[in-house]
Amino acid sequence: MSNSDLQALFTTLEMAALTTVILLIIGTPLAWYLAKMTSRFKVIIEAIVALPLVLPPTVIGFYLLIAFSPEHLPGQLWQQTTGQQLAFSFSAIVIGSVLYSLPFVVQPLQKAFEQLGDSLIEAGALLGAGPIDRFFSIVLPLTKASFITAATLGFAHTVGEFGIILMIGGNIPGETRVLSIALFDHVEAFDYARAHLLAFSLLGVSMVVLALIYGLNLPKKHPRNKVELNNDK
Amino acid sequence: MTSKTPQLNVNISVRYPPFELAIKQTIPVTGITGIFGHSASGKSTLLRAIAGLEKKLTGDITLGGIALINTQQRTYLKPENRQIGLVFQNSRLFDHLTVLGNLQYAAKRCQKSQLSLDEVVQLTKLKSLLNYSVNQLSGGQQQRVALARALLAEPKLLLLDEPLSALDQHSKTQLLQMLLSIQKKLNLPMLYVSHSLDELQQVCDNLIVMAHGKIVNRGNIHQVIHQLNNYSGNDSDNDIQNQQCNIIQQQTSLSLSIKTFNNGHGLTTLSLNKQQDIYLASDQSFKQQKQLRCFILASDISIALTEPNDSSIVNQLFGSIKVISHQTNRVLLTVTCGSQDFFVAISEFSQQKLSLVTKQHVYLQFKTSAVRTFIH
C-alpha cells in the first residue's frame, strides 16, 4: 500500500473511531429518550433520526456544505470559536459522519432499551441503585450486544462513506481524503491494482465486522437442566 | 430492620381511566398484612404506589412519619431511598448475574448493613445454588432468590406482589413457611398481595379487601374472611362486597392450638374450646407447630338436630344457630360453638325440612378431610 493510501487509511480510521465515540455519547441518551417517550412527537423525532437512511448522501452533503460555509451561522460560529473554516476540514467530515450514521447507532439501541423494559430497572431501584448506577449495572450489561452492534454498524458505515465526505470535505490528503475517496481516485486514474487492494481491504473489513456482530449476538447457551429441587436443601 | 411498628398512611389517587385507585387509609403494618381482591381491584397499583413506582399518583403517603410522597408539597422520595422492598410475581432477577451476584447486588447497595449475606442465604436455603445462573433455577428457587435479594436491601417494609402465583403447590408451601419464619426472625412487616385467600389465610394476621380501586374491608384475617361470607347475594346495596363474595368460597377460618400431633390413629387434635376438639389428618409439617391455621368450607359442613352417634364422621360439634341468611337458592347459617362462629351452607330445602330457626341447638358434622390447611 502506498503512503498516500496508508494516510487515507489512518484518516478513515481516525474519523470512524471519533465518529463512533461521539455517536455512542449522543446516541445513547437519544435512544433512551425515544424508547421511553410516549409523546406524539416521538414519530417526528424518529423520522428525523432515520432520514439519512433514505436521503441520498449527496443531498445531506449539499445542505451541510451550505451550513458549514462561512456565510451561514453554523460555519460562522465554528470559525469564531476555533478560528478555522469548518467546510473542507477533518471536523466537517466527522460532524457529517455523525449525522449520516446516527440511525445506525440510535435504532439498535432504542430497540434494545424498548425490549429491556422497565421491570429490571425498577427492581434495581428498589434495591437501592440510583439512575446512573442502574444504567451501568443493569442496562449496559443486558444490552451489551446491542451496544456492540450499534458501535460496529456506526463504525463500518462511517468507513464506507463517500458522497457526504466528498461534498463537505473534498479530497485533501491527510485531512479529508479517506479510503473510499482514494479508491475513487485510483479508478479514475485506471490504476485498478491499487483500487483492487483498497476495495478488497474494505470488503474484508466489512465481512469481519458483520461476522463479529452476528457472533456476538448469538443467543447465550444455558444448560437446559434445571437445578434439582432437593439440591438446595 | 426496625423493631418499631411503622404506620403506613395512604391518601392517594391513581387514575388510569376508566380505572381509578382511591385510597385513604392508615394501614397498620405489623406482622404480615394481606391484601385481597379480584383482578384489576388495584392491589398491585397500591403496592407500586407505596414502592414509588407509580408515576400517575396524586396525594401523599407516609411510612413511620416519613413522607414518601406528597404531591401537594412536591416532595417525592425516590424508590432507591425509600427502604421498601418489593418481591414481584415474576422474580425480576438479573440474568447477567449469578444467584450470588444478585444477592451481592442488593448487599453492596445497602447502606446500614445489619444482616449478613450468609445469614440471609441460610434463611432462604440458597447455599447450594449460589453459583448457578438464575436461568437454571426453577420458579420456586427464583422466588427464593428474589426474596433473599429483597431482604439484603434491609427494607423497613417488604411488599410481596403475588409472589407464589406462578408456583406449584410444593414450592408455595415451602415459600410460605419460609416467609413466616423470616417474618418472625427479622420482625419485618410485610404487605402481601394475593388473589388466593387460602394463601393469605395461612400467613397473614390482618387482611385488607380491595375492590374497584378502594379498600372495602380490613381487620383481623379470620374476622374479615367471615365478614366476606356474610354478604348476601341478593343485597343490591353491597355490590362491591358481593363481587368479593362471589370469588371466595364461604368458609370458617380458624387458628387453633394443636393439642396432640397424633392421637394414635393418624389424626391431629386441635383444641376448639375446653369441651370440643377438631380432628384432621396428621402431617409431618404440623410437628414443629403449636398453632395451626385451617379453614372449613361452608359447603363441607352438614347439620343434624340430634347427636349423630352412629356416624363415621369424626368431627361433630354442638352449637346454636346465630344467624340464618337466605342467599340465592341456598341458606348460610352462622352457628356458634362455644365462642367460635362456624359457617354452614345448606339448601333451602334442608332448612325447611329441618325447620331451622335462630337460637336452635344443632350438631355440625364434617370429615377430617374438610379441615383444610394450605400445607398439604
Instruction: Quote the CA–CA distance of A24 and A98 in Å, as a whole number.
Output: 10
| Pair (B219, B232) in one structural domain | yes
| Pair (B185, B301) in one structural domain | no
| Pair (B268, B182) in one structural domain | no
Under the banding of pLDDT at 50, 70 and 90, the label for residue A6 is confident
Does the CB of B78 have a partner CB in chain A at under 8 Å? Answer: yes
Arithmetic mean of pLDDT, A27-41: 92
Residue B96 lies in a domain: no
**Residue-level pLDDT at B2:** 45
**Residue-level pLDDT at A230:** 43
| DSSP 8-state code for residue A77 | H
| Pair (B273, B350) in one structural domain | yes
| Pair (B210, B325) in one structural domain | no
**Per-residue b or e along B58-70, where b marks 16 or more CB atoms closer than 10 Å to that residue's CB:** ebbbbbbeeebbb
| Pair (B337, B280) in one structural domain | yes
Question: CB-based contacts of B210: which residues, under 8 Å, 6+ apart?
Answer: B35, B36, B37, B41, B42, B43, B46, B216
Residue B29 lies in a domain: yes
Residue B340, classified by CB atoms within 10 Å of its CB into exposed (0-12), middle (13-18) or buried (19+), is: middle
Which of A129, A138, A231 lies closest to B128 in CB terms? A231
Tens-place pLDDT, residues B213-249 = 999 999 999 989 888 876 544 444 455 555 555 557 8
User: Torsions phi, psi of B69, nearest 5?
Assistant: -155, 145
| Pair (B265, B364) in one structural domain | yes
Residue B355 lies in a domain: yes
Q: Is residue A123 over pLDDT 60? A: yes
Does the CB of B92 have a partner CB in chain A at under 8 Å? Answer: yes
- Say which residue the cell 346465630 belongs to: B322
Question: CB-based contacts of B175: which residues, under 8 Å, 6+ apart?
Answer: B140, B143, B144, B147, B163, B164, B167
Q: Are B270 and B368 in contact (CB under 8 A)?
A: no
Tens-place pLDDT, residues B56-112 = 899 999 999 899 999 999 999 999 999 999 999 999 999 999 999 999 999 999 877
| DSSP 8-state code for residue B98 | B
Arithmetic mean of pLDDT, A160-164: 88
Averaged confidence pLDDT in chain B: 89
Arithmetic mean of pLDDT, B198-224: 91
**Residue-level pLDDT at B39:** 86
| Minimum CA–CA partner of A220 in chain B | B96
| Pair (B284, B210) in one structural domain | no
**Residue-level pLDDT at B88:** 94
Residues found in chain B: 376
Q: How many domains are there within chain B?
A: 2
Averaged confidence pLDDT in chain A: 88
User: Torsions phi, psi of A80, nearest 5?
Assistant: -65, -35
The CATH number assigned to the domain holding B310 equals: 2.40.50.100
Chains A, B: CB contacts under 8 A, how many?
A: 84
| Pair (B362, B315) in one structural domain | yes
Q: Is residue A99 over pLDDT 90? A: yes
User: Torsions phi, psi of B142, nearest 5?
Assistant: -60, -40
Q: Do B129 and A141 touch (CB under 8 A)?
A: no
Domain-ending residue, one of B226, B247, B268: B247
Residue B165 lies in a domain: yes
Arithmetic mean of pLDDT, B290-297: 91
Instruction: Quote the CA–CA distance of A136 and A133 in Å, as a whole number.
Output: 5
- Torsion sign across C-alpha atoms B260, B266, B272, B274: negative
**Residue-level pLDDT at B294:** 92
The distance of A133 to chain B (nearest Cα, Å) reads 10
The distance of B249 to chain A (nearest Cα, Å) reads 32
- Torsion sign across C-alpha atoms A51, A55, A58, A62: negative
Whether pTM > 0.90 for this model: the answer is no
Q: Calculate what percentage of chain B has a pLDDT beyond 90.
A: 66
Q: Calculate what percentage of chain A has a pLDDT beyond 90.
A: 60
Domain-ending residue, one of B217, B247, B277: B247
**Residue-level pLDDT at B231:** 58
**Residue-level pLDDT at B241:** 52
**Residue-level pLDDT at B232:** 42
| Pair (B212, B262) in one structural domain | no
Arithmetic mean of pLDDT, B1-29: 85
| DSSP 8-state code for residue B333 | E
| Pair (B359, B270) in one structural domain | yes
Mutate to test the interface with A, among B50, B76, B94 (most CBs of A within 10 A): B94
Instruction: Quote the CA–CA distance of B4 and A222 in Å, as a whole number.
Output: 45
- Say which residue the cell 440471609 belongs to: B120
**Residue-level pLDDT at B200:** 92
Q: Is residue B263 over pLDDT 90? A: no
Residue B126 lies in a domain: no
**Residue-level pLDDT at B48:** 96
Arithmetic mean of pLDDT, B22-51: 92
State which residues form the domain around B286: 251-370
Please name which of A181, A206, A183, A202 lies closest in space to residue A193, comparing C-alpha atoms. Answer: A183
- Sheet with strand B190-194: strands edge to edge: B84-87, B157-161, B190-194, B32-36, B206-211, B214-220
**Residue-level pLDDT at B376:** 44
Residue B24 lies in a domain: yes
Q: Is residue B4 over pLDDT 90? A: no
Mutate to test the interface with B, among A127, A135, A220 (most CBs of B within 10 A): A127
Does the CB of A127 have a partner CB in chain B at under 8 Å? Answer: yes
DSSP assignment string, B134-168:
GGGS-HHHHHHHHHHHHHHT--SEEEEESTTTTS-
What are the structural domains, with CATH classification, of chain A? Answer: 3-219 (1.10.3720.10)
The distance of B96 to chain A (nearest Cα, Å) reads 7
Q: Is residue A150 over pLDDT 80? A: yes
Q: Do B80 and A123 touch (CB under 8 A)?
A: no
Residue B131 lies in a domain: no
The CATH number assigned to the domain holding B64 equals: 3.40.50.300
Q: Is residue A217 over pLDDT 80? A: no
Domain-ending residue, one of B229, B247, B265: B247
ipTM over 0.90: no
Which of A133, A142, A229 lies closest to B138 in CB terms? A229
Instruction: Quote the CA–CA distance of B58 and B75 in Å, as a whole number.
Output: 11
Q: In whole angstroms, what separates CA B158 from the centre of its chain?
A: 14
| Pair (B243, B361) in one structural domain | no
Residue B23 lies in a domain: yes
Between B363 and A197, the higher pLDDT residue: B363
